[in-house]
Protein backbone atom coordinates (compact mmCIF):
# COMPACT_ATOMS: atom_id res chain seq x y z
CA UNK A 1 0.00 0.00 0.00
CA UNK A 2 1.42 3.40 -0.91
CA UNK A 3 1.57 6.41 1.38
CA UNK A 4 -1.46 8.11 -0.19
CA UNK A 5 -3.61 5.05 0.42
CA UNK A 6 -2.37 4.80 4.01
CA UNK A 7 -3.16 8.47 4.61
CA UNK A 8 -6.61 8.04 3.13
CA UNK A 9 -7.27 4.95 5.27
CA UNK A 10 -6.19 6.79 8.46
CA UNK A 11 -8.50 9.70 7.66
CA UNK A 12 -11.37 7.34 6.95
CA UNK A 13 -10.84 5.49 10.25
CA UNK A 14 -10.67 8.82 12.06
CA UNK A 15 -13.95 9.95 10.49
CA UNK A 16 -15.75 6.72 11.38
CA UNK A 17 -14.64 7.12 15.01
CA UNK A 18 -15.72 10.76 15.31
CA UNK A 19 -18.91 10.69 13.19
CA UNK A 20 -21.15 9.21 15.93
CA UNK A 21 -19.93 11.82 18.41
CA UNK A 22 -20.53 14.68 15.94
CA UNK A 23 -24.04 13.36 15.21
CA UNK A 24 -24.84 13.09 18.93
CA UNK A 25 -23.73 16.68 19.55
CA UNK A 26 -25.78 17.90 16.57
CA UNK A 27 -28.87 16.06 17.81
CA UNK A 28 -28.43 17.51 21.28
CA UNK A 29 -28.13 21.05 19.89
CA UNK A 30 -31.28 20.59 17.82
CA UNK A 31 -33.16 19.17 20.82
CA UNK A 32 -32.15 22.11 23.02
CA UNK A 33 -33.20 24.60 20.37
CA UNK A 34 -36.58 22.92 19.84
CA UNK A 35 -37.20 22.73 23.60
CA UNK A 36 -36.51 26.46 23.92
CA UNK A 37 -39.17 27.33 21.37
CA UNK A 38 -42.62 28.29 22.52
CA UNK A 39 -45.89 26.83 21.27
CA UNK A 40 -46.71 28.30 17.88
CA UNK A 41 -44.30 31.22 18.40
CA UNK A 42 -46.25 32.57 21.35
CA UNK A 43 -44.43 35.38 23.16
CA UNK A 44 -42.84 34.73 26.55
CA UNK A 45 -45.56 36.81 28.19
CA UNK A 46 -48.15 34.29 26.98
CA UNK A 47 -46.37 31.46 28.76
CA UNK A 48 -46.76 33.38 32.01
CA UNK A 49 -50.57 33.56 31.76
CA UNK A 50 -52.36 31.15 34.07
CA UNK A 51 -55.62 29.43 33.19
CA UNK A 52 -58.21 30.75 35.66
CA UNK A 53 -60.23 27.56 35.05
CA UNK A 54 -57.40 25.04 35.44
CA UNK A 55 -58.67 21.63 36.61
CA UNK A 56 -62.27 22.93 36.61
CA UNK A 57 -64.44 20.11 35.21
CA UNK A 58 -67.35 22.47 34.50
CA UNK A 59 -65.09 24.79 32.51
CA UNK A 60 -63.76 21.83 30.51
CA UNK A 61 -67.34 20.67 29.83
CA UNK A 62 -68.25 24.16 28.63
CA UNK A 63 -65.07 24.20 26.56
CA UNK A 64 -66.08 20.92 24.94
CA UNK A 65 -69.31 22.51 23.69
CA UNK A 66 -67.46 25.61 22.48
CA UNK A 67 -64.84 23.43 20.79
CA UNK A 68 -67.61 21.51 18.98
CA UNK A 69 -69.11 24.80 17.75
CA UNK A 70 -65.92 26.58 16.75
CA UNK A 71 -63.00 24.17 16.34
CA UNK A 72 -64.16 20.65 15.47
CA UNK A 73 -64.86 21.44 11.82
CA UNK A 74 -61.09 21.80 11.29
CA UNK A 75 -59.46 19.93 14.18
CA UNK A 76 -61.93 17.03 14.32
CA UNK A 77 -64.44 15.94 16.95
CA UNK A 78 -61.74 14.07 18.87
CA UNK A 79 -59.02 16.73 18.43
CA UNK A 80 -57.31 14.38 15.96
CA UNK A 81 -56.78 17.04 13.27
CA UNK A 82 -58.25 17.03 9.79
CA UNK A 83 -56.57 17.98 6.53
CA UNK A 84 -54.06 20.74 7.18
CA UNK A 85 -55.36 21.41 10.72
CA UNK A 86 -53.06 19.66 13.21
CA UNK A 87 -54.06 17.28 15.95
CA UNK A 88 -54.51 18.94 19.32
CA UNK A 89 -53.55 15.77 21.16
CA UNK A 90 -49.89 14.99 21.47
CA UNK A 91 -46.55 16.26 22.69
CA UNK A 92 -46.71 19.71 21.10
CA UNK A 93 -49.99 20.61 22.77
CA UNK A 94 -49.30 18.59 25.93
CA UNK A 95 -46.03 20.46 26.48
CA UNK A 96 -47.52 23.88 25.75
CA UNK A 97 -48.32 26.19 28.61
CA UNK A 98 -52.01 27.12 29.01
CA UNK A 99 -51.26 30.77 28.22
CA UNK A 100 -49.52 29.81 24.98
CA UNK A 101 -52.58 27.84 23.85
CA UNK A 102 -54.83 30.75 24.86
CA UNK A 103 -52.62 33.18 22.94
CA UNK A 104 -52.73 31.03 19.82
CA UNK A 105 -56.52 30.61 19.99
CA UNK A 106 -56.82 34.38 20.38
CA UNK A 107 -54.39 35.39 17.62
CA UNK A 108 -54.36 32.44 15.25
CA UNK A 109 -52.05 32.28 12.25
CA UNK A 110 -53.88 33.07 9.02
CA UNK A 111 -50.82 32.16 6.94
CA UNK A 112 -51.32 28.57 8.13
CA UNK A 113 -55.12 28.60 8.03
CA UNK A 114 -55.82 29.21 11.72
CA UNK A 115 -58.16 32.15 12.34
CA UNK A 116 -57.88 34.17 15.51
CA UNK A 117 -60.80 33.80 17.88
CA UNK A 118 -60.45 37.07 19.77
CA UNK A 119 -64.15 37.75 19.17
CA UNK A 120 -64.99 34.95 21.61
CA UNK A 121 -65.20 36.21 25.18
CA UNK A 122 -62.03 35.62 27.18
CA UNK A 123 -63.85 33.19 29.50
CA UNK A 124 -64.89 31.03 26.54
CA UNK A 125 -61.37 30.93 25.12
CA UNK A 126 -60.07 29.78 28.52
CA UNK A 127 -62.79 27.13 28.64
CA UNK A 128 -61.58 25.80 25.28
CA UNK A 129 -58.05 25.73 26.69
CA UNK A 130 -59.38 23.78 29.69
CA UNK A 131 -61.06 21.26 27.39
CA UNK A 132 -57.91 20.80 25.26
CA UNK A 133 -55.79 20.40 28.38
CA UNK A 134 -58.22 17.86 29.84
CA UNK A 135 -57.82 15.72 26.72
CA UNK A 136 -54.03 15.97 26.91
CA UNK A 137 -53.77 14.89 30.55
CA UNK A 138 -55.81 11.69 30.22
CA UNK A 139 -53.78 8.61 31.20
CA UNK A 140 -52.25 6.91 28.21
CA UNK A 141 -52.11 10.01 26.05
pLDDT in tens, 50-71: 999 999 999 999 999 999 999 9
CA 64, 95, 48 angle in degrees (round to 5)? 90
- Same domain? For 95 and 44 the reply is yes
- Supply the pLDDT for residue 22: 54
Q: Average pLDDT, stretch 117-129?
A: 97
Task: Kindly report the pTM of this predicted structure.
Answer: 0.72
Q: How far apart are CA 48 and CA 44, in angstroms?
A: 7
- Supply the pLDDT for residue 31: 46
Q: How far apart are CA 134 and CA 59, in angstroms?
A: 10
**Which range of residues forms the domain containing residue 23?**
1-36
Residue 119 lies in a domain: yes
Number of domains the chain contains: 2
Residue 88 lies in a domain: yes
pLDDT per position as a tens digit, 69-111:
999 999 999 999 998 889 999 898 999 999 999 999 999 999 8
Amino acid sequence: MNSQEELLNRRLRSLTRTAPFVMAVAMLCISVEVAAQTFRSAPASAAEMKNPYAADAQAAAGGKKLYAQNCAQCHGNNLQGMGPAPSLIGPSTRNAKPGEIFWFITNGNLNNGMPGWSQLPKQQRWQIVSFIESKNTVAGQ
